[in-house]
Each structure stands twice: as C-alpha cells, then as structure tokens.
Amino acid sequence: MKRLAIYPGTFDPFTNGHLDVLERALTIFEHVIVVIAENSRKKTLFSLDERLDMIETLTATYSGASVEVLHGGLLAEYARSAGATAIVRGVRQVKDFEYEFQMSLLNRHLNPEVTTVFLMPNVKYTYVASSIIREVALLGGDVSKFVHPYVLDRLKKKFEEQKNL
Ligand code: PNS
C-alpha cells in the first residue's frame, strides 16, 4: 500500500518554506497531496483558483505530489476519504506549537487513523510566513529569496491590479 500524506494549508501564497516542507515530505511518503483549504474566516489575497494555479505550476515536476482544494468540511474527513495516514505540517518556531498541538490532537480525535507529522524547513525559512511575505511585497520590499519567481510575478500583478481599482 502506498504511504499517502496530505499537506494542508491556506498557502496565501505558497512560499519557498512550503516547498521545502513538501520536498522533505516526499522523501518520507510516496505521495503527498497539497490540500488548499478554503477558510471562510480568513480573507485571502489570492483566490482558490489562483493558489491552485501557483502550486500546480511549482509542483508540476514533482512526480509524487498533487494538489487539491478542500471546499469547506473537515480535514480529518478529507484525510479519511483520500486514504491518507498522515497530515504534514511545517513548524518554524516554538510559537507555532500551541496551535499545531491543538489541531493535531483534534484531528486525531476526529480520525484516529491519521497521524500529524511535523517537519522543520531549512533554517533560512524560519521567519518566512505568507502573511509577512504579503505585507513586505505590498510595501514594495524584495521577497525574491522567499518565493518562487512565478509567485513573485503573481504578487506583483496582484498589487498592480489592486492599485488600479
Ligand atoms: O496554513 P494555515 O492557515 O495555518 O492552515 C490551517 C488549516 C487549513 C490546516 C486548518 O485551518 C484546517 O485544517 N482547516 C480545514 C478545516 C478543519 O478541519 N478544521 C479543524 C482543524 S482541527
């Protein structure tokens, strides 16, 4: 049986830190589904379709990876229906722990067959979070070290679009 993991997140946008975690996950699991979660509580910069397009483009050459969208519903249920035995989450700092701990135990309660696996990205991405990337990019700062050129281009276009509104 194939070891299948899901790698969920908002990915607004997908950063090099996310890519690093995905690459690490692919050394452990035969297949990893990146799951873009729709979050009604979070207003995102990029639409689901835009995020899907960016992640599909970035992972097109990764034979073990695919990308899906979770349109509402529980991740634990999604994991069950996909046949995944693991949920991959990237952790950068101690402050990530409380939230991750809570989610992993809740997900285990909802689906005892799924185990959350925490992976640490390369230390150079310790302070890279999508929120900070959005803010720096909006203010004209250079984020080229932290996102793929395709994402960088989408960020630039998005802020141009917004300026013209
Ligand atoms: O990148 P994020 O925003 O930290 O990811 C959070 C995410 C998408 C993994 C979490 O909000 C999630 O799992 N959402 C799906 C709905 C769900 O199952 N919520 C209960 C989690 S215990």
Model pLDDT for residues 4-34, shown as the tens digit of each residue:
999 999 999 999 999 999 999 999 999 999 9
Say what the pLDDT of residue 134 is: 95
Say what the pLDDT of residue 55 is: 98
Q: Does the pTM exceed 0.85?
A: yes
Atom of ligand 1 nearest to the CA of 107: 22
Say what the pLDDT of residue 46 is: 96
Closest CA to 68 of 114, 32, 36, 26: 36
By DSSP bridging, strand 31-37 and strand 65-70 are parallel
Q: Which of the following is catalytic: 24, 51, 89, 130?
A: 130
Does the C-beta of 85 come closer than 6 Å to ligand 1?
A: no
Closest CA to 67 of 82, 86, 80: 82
Does the C-beta of 91 come closer than 6 Å to ligand 1?
A: no
Mutate to test the pocket of ligand 1, among 100, 103, 115, 130 (most ligand atoms within 8 A of CB): 103
Q: Report which residue type is found at 140.
A: G
Please state which of the four CATH numbers 3.20.20.70, 3.40.1190.20, 3.40.50.620, 3.20.80.10 is assigned to the domain occupying 4-126: 3.40.50.620
| pLDDT tens-digit map of 86-122 | 999 999 989 899 999 999 999 999 999 999 999 999 9
Token pair of 147 as six digits: 């996102």
Closest CA to 12 of 164, 154, 162, 120: 154
| pLDDT tens-digit map of 64-96 | 999 999 999 999 999 999 999 999 999 998 989
